[in-house]
């Protein structure tokens, strides 16, 4: 069994106001969405009758992931170079599109209230 030390993992968190995401329009804000979310993430968010909490949650999760990786000395990860998809039981999972970041395992949780979305991420070196 491998011993995990503090240099092997880092934590990140983020909270977002959902109101910011209610103002976004799928058609007129295409440039913003392209920079932040993948097509699969957009499809997941916009299948809901109220996509704003899902958009805020995904954004918050990506911020938390970037902060967690920053704690391990990593930077330069673009929002659209990671993808957060739900597994079979509905838990969010992170997939990286850049090889450089695939050496990390990320555990995330996303939650929201009526007004706020919160995410926490733990980055572990594989």
pLDDT at residue 121 greater than cutoff 80: yes
* Domain residue ranges in the chain: 8-125
Q: What are phi and psi of 48, to 5 degrees?
A: -80, 150
pLDDT at residue 1 greater than cutoff 70: no
Instruction: Give residue 36's pLDDT.
Output: 97
Instruction: Give residue 17's pLDDT.
Output: 98
In sequence order, what E strands does 18-103 have?
82-86, 92-96
Question: Would you say 124 and 8 are in contact if contact means Cβ atoms under 8 Å apart?
Answer: yes
Give the tens place of pLDDT for each residue, 100-112.
Answer: 999 999 999 999 9
Give the tens place of pLDDT for each residue, 34-85.
Answer: 999 999 999 999 999 999 999 999 999 999 999 999 999 999 999 999 999 9
Instruction: Give residue 83's pLDDT.
Output: 98
Could you please state the CATH topology (level 3) that the domain comprising 8-125 is classified under.
Ribosomal Protein L22; Chain A (3.90.470)
2 closest CA partner among 105, 85, 121: 105
Bigger pLDDT: 39 vs 4: 39
Instruction: Give residue 28's pLDDT.
Output: 93
């Amino acid at each position: 069994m491998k011993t995990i030390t503090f240099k092997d993992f880092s934590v990140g968190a983020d909270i977002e106001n959902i109101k910011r995401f209610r103002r976004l329009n799928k058609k007129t804000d295409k440039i913003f969405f392209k920079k932040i979310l993948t097509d699969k993430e957009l499809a997941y968010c916009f299948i809901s009758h109220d996509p704003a909490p899902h958009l805020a949650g995904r954004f918050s999760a990506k911020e938390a992931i970037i902060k967690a990786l920053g704690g391990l000395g990593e930077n330069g990860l673009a929002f659209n170079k990671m993808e957060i998809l739900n597994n079979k039981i509905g838990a969010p999972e992170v997939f990286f599109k850049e090889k450089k970041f695939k050496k990390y395992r990320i555990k995330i949780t996303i939650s929201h209230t009526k007004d706020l979305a919160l995410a926490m991420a733990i980055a572990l070196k594989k």
